[in-house]
Structure 1
Amino acid sequence: MTSTSLPDAPQLTEPLRRTPKVPAQHQAPPRARRKSARRRSQLWLVSTLVVVSLFTIAPLLAVIVLALSPEDAPTIPYAVPASLTLDNIIRIFNVGEFPLWLWNSFLYSSISVVVVLLTASMAAYALARKRFPGRNAVLWTIVATLMVPMQATLIPTFILVAGMGGVNTMWGLILPTLANAQAVFLIRQFIRDLPDELFDAARIDGAGEWRTFAGIVLPLIRPVLATLAIFVFLWHWNDLLWPLVVGQSDAARTLTVGLATLNTETVSTANIMAAALISFIPCLVIFVLLQRHIVASITSSGVKG
């Protein structure tokens, strides 16, 4: 047999060259495009927040301008007047029983905050860490009361308070507002997430219930207590309906009811705005003092384990 030889493969004289990809004209890199899109979204977010903040702050700025304006200044402050004065703030303390209204509101709010936080934290501790028959039924009954509006229980509550002689008294004003179901539920959720090892260690050391509650639970739930202190103070400080029903005399009125009665008297708008500005200051002070605890509460509630 004759062997046939295959032709030799042609030798490549030059290496294969890949055609380089030419980037598209006027096309930014992906990282630059993402960075530009992020900047645009941040700009839109900041612009929206600025507009919303202006709409929110505008009424407060109007109150401040009217409170510091002379009595003959226009009612609607289109512009800041040429001269600002504190005469309206000084004069309002001589109108009616304004100092007494301010003191009643302070007592109503501060006493309610202390008692609500104390009773709610004790009830929450029992519902979160103690096992007893009917515990879940008690918890859901407390939660169900959140769905009942205050207006539905206003008349029965007034009849009970009036029967005990609580009309035009400070204890009649405070007592019906001390049962706060929302505070009990929020503190109970916070205590339930505390580590079981803390309570086991306290039990091994021989700590009783009161020592465990005061030495372990209260220091650990300080953030949620501070947050609720702000909310409860604002609820009572701005409350109008119940103080209006119970406080039927000038000596038993709170600041909100007193401000509502100033509209029916011959009091200038500047003086009324000065009283409203004074009523805003305690709320601002309480928030500034306790705002760091709100951040701590939000941070700790997001960390489990």
Structure 2
Amino acid sequence: MTLTASRPVTSPRRTSSRPRRTGRRWPLTVLLGLVSVLKVSPFAEMLVLALSPPRKPTVPRQWPETLTLDNITQTLGADGFLGWTLNSFIYAAVSVVIILLTASMAGYAFAKKRFPGRDALMWAFLATVMVPFQAMLIPLFVLVSGLDGVDTFWGMIVPTLANSQAVFLMRQFIRDLPDELFEAAKVDGASEWRIYLQIVVPLTKPILATLGVFVFLWHWNDFLWPLVVGQSGEMQTLTVGLTTLKSADHPMALVMASAAISVVPCLLVFALLQRYLVNSIAMTGLK
């Protein structure tokens, strides 16, 4: 009796699909690279002009022989610049705090509470997105002017607080939270304020950070409403003040230096909240 050793069964080799996937992705990579260059090139030119010594513009544009910080220091010491920056910060920061507070409360009510007309009220509130702000500009100004809100911070801030997009995003995020958490909290005797502060707020930090970034950027870069309401020089924001620099007899290097400084707060806010932004995108993908 002879024994024959059987060959071990080997699984067929799997061909790697990475080269094929890489081959399919290179057009997208090239396209994204071109778009990135188009997006970054204006900022790069702004920085170059901000760090260049004052000179007459030439065609074609020439690279400066030396770079200097004189434009930055001169801009920071200009009359009104720090005041414009402070006004913009107050306008953006106060708006962010109030919008996040009201939007999270309204989103929690629309997502987890049942009351007559809830869905109809939500869709009616969301329908205001289709009305452009320019169409409401004159009625808002007449209302604010009648309440003596011109040249005041509250007249600049309050009309921009009703943000239907923020309420809708908070509603969609809170609606996906498990109902068992809220039911268990109610069984333990937690009040609505305690549920909001200890359950809703901690679990919605990613979306709150995302909304905070977008609301801050929108208010920081807002031009039309601060221009209409802040009619005096003391109430001008940074975006409105930059137009006065451009229209006055100022070298282009100083204007670009002012624009470069105005971008710094936006970059700082994005850098500080980047972790929450990534978490928000990741959680959205998982859902």
Partner amino acid, structure 1, of 2:255: I
The alpha-carbon distance between structure 1 residues 54 and 98, as it changes in their structure 2 partners (threshold 3 A), is same
2:135 pairs with 1:156: no
In the other structure, the counterpart of 1:191 is 174
Amino acid at match of 2:269: I
How do 1:119-198 residues align onto structure 2 when only pairs under 5 Å count? 119-198=102-181
CA contact (8 A) 1:75 1:269 kept: no
TM-score normalised over the length of structure 1: 0.86
The structure with more radius of gyration: 1
| 3-state secondary structure, aligned to 1:263 | helix
Whether the aligned pair in 2 keeps the contact of 1:65 and 1:77 (CA below 8 Å) is: no
Code of the residue aligned with 1:124 in structure 2: it is G
Residue equivalent to 1:218: 201
Match among 224, 241, 258 for residue 258 of structure 1: 241
Cα distance between partner residues in 2 of 1:66 and 1:77 = 14
- Aligned residue in 2 for 1:64: 47
Shift of 1:298: 1.7
Distance 2:14 2:190 in 1: 62
Q: How far apart, in 1, do the equivalents of 2:213 and 2:113 lie?
A: 28
Distance 2:92 2:161 in 1: 11
Do the aligned partners of 1:115 and 1:178 also contact (CA within 8 Å) in 2? yes
- Where in structure 2 are the equivalents of 1:99-138 lying within 5 Å? 99-138=82-121
Within 1, Cα distance between the matches of 2:60 and 2:70? 17
Q: 2:61 aligns with which of 78, 98, 101?
A: 78
Deviation per residue, 1:159-180 (Å, 9 max, x gap): 1101111111111111111111
CA apart distance, 1:232: 0.1
**In 2, Cα distance between equivalents of 1:78 and 1:94:** 28
Superposition deviation, residue 92 in structure 1: 1.2
Distance in 1, matches of 2:245 and 2:58, equals 16
Q: How does 1:258-277 map to 2 (within 5 A)?
A: 258-277=241-260
TM-score with structure 2 length normalisation? 0.91
Distance 1:236 1:75 in 2: 35
Q: Taking every aligned residue pair, what percent have the same amino acid on both sides?
A: 56
Count of residues paired in the alignment: 275
**Partner Cα separation in structure 1 for residue 188 and residue 256 of structure 2:** 58
RMSD after superposition: 1.8
SS of corresponding position for 2:286: coil
Change (3 A) 1:156 1:42: same
Q: In 1, distance between residues paired with 2:60 and 2:52?
A: 9
In 2, Cα distance between the equivalents of 1:123 and 1:215? 16
